Chain A
Amino acid sequence: MAEVYLVAVLVSMIKLKSISLMTVDIGLYLFFLFLFIFLLTVRFFNPHDVWHKELIK
């Protein structure tokens, strides 16, 4: 769901741009970083491992 939130942030930034002045700050870049690491975590996590520790290398 986090990647959907990122798209939502970008869409609302463009919407808000028409109303007021917007500048991109470090928070957005950190959010990109968070998203990247989060996706990696989700990619490598296998819930079945919890029950089969003999298979974990």
Chain B
Amino acid sequence: MRTKENNQIFCDVCATLQSTRKKCKICGNRIYARKPYSLLKTLLYTLSAFIMLIPANLLDMMSSIKLTVEYPQTILGGIMWFYEEGDYFLAFIVFFASIFIPIFKILALIWLLIMAKIGKNRFSYFSTKLYKIIEFIGKYSMLDIFVVTIMTGFMQFGNLIHIEAGGAVIPFALVIIFTMLATQNFDTKLLWDEK
């Protein structure tokens, strides 16, 4: 059903059709035909994520301090460490979660923005699938943040050995949060509107 033309809006919270008004008469949720400022918000969050991606990859993720000697490690350094230890599978998982997913998400969001601007075309089906994929895999990039949290919590033995979070943690967390917000603010219905 084309709800936009019928002056009817589907409420996401209580799953009922509503005649156009600002609030749903059943659950009080704010309703709209399309998310307000969807493309602008998605674009700005994507750009912010892209900017934050640079310090996230250049700065240290965490550094272990053994007997006052510091061993800093970037994201890529951590992956190389697993690779050299022979843990190829883990190296792959960390690479996938920390490097592949953020970059893939940003590229996918740019593609979605272009497609939403064009309107309904032969890629609309593919774009909707792509949106579902980036919405699902987004949370897996939190892996590195969790690893740093656990490691710093475990290894606190004063000067003998302790692990500190590096400068890349906050930019990296921001990359993930910004891409998640961008995905949330994107309205897939825009992919199917005929312009």
Contact = CB atoms under 8 A, between A and B. Distances in A.
B76 to A, nearest CB: 15
Give the size category of B's interface with A.
20 to 34
B85 interface: yes
B175 to A, nearest CB: 15
A4 B145 CA distance: 10
Contacts of B155: 16, 19
Contacts of B156: none
Given A1-B142, A7-B93, A11-B94, A47 B13 contact: yes
B125 to A, nearest CB: 25
A8 B150 CA distance: 8
B151 A51 contact: no
Interface of B: 13-16, 26-27, 64, 85, 87, 90, 93-94, 97, 139-140, 142-143, 146-147, 149-151, 154-155, 161
Interface in A5-57: 5, 7-9, 11-12, 14-16, 18-19, 47-48, 50-52
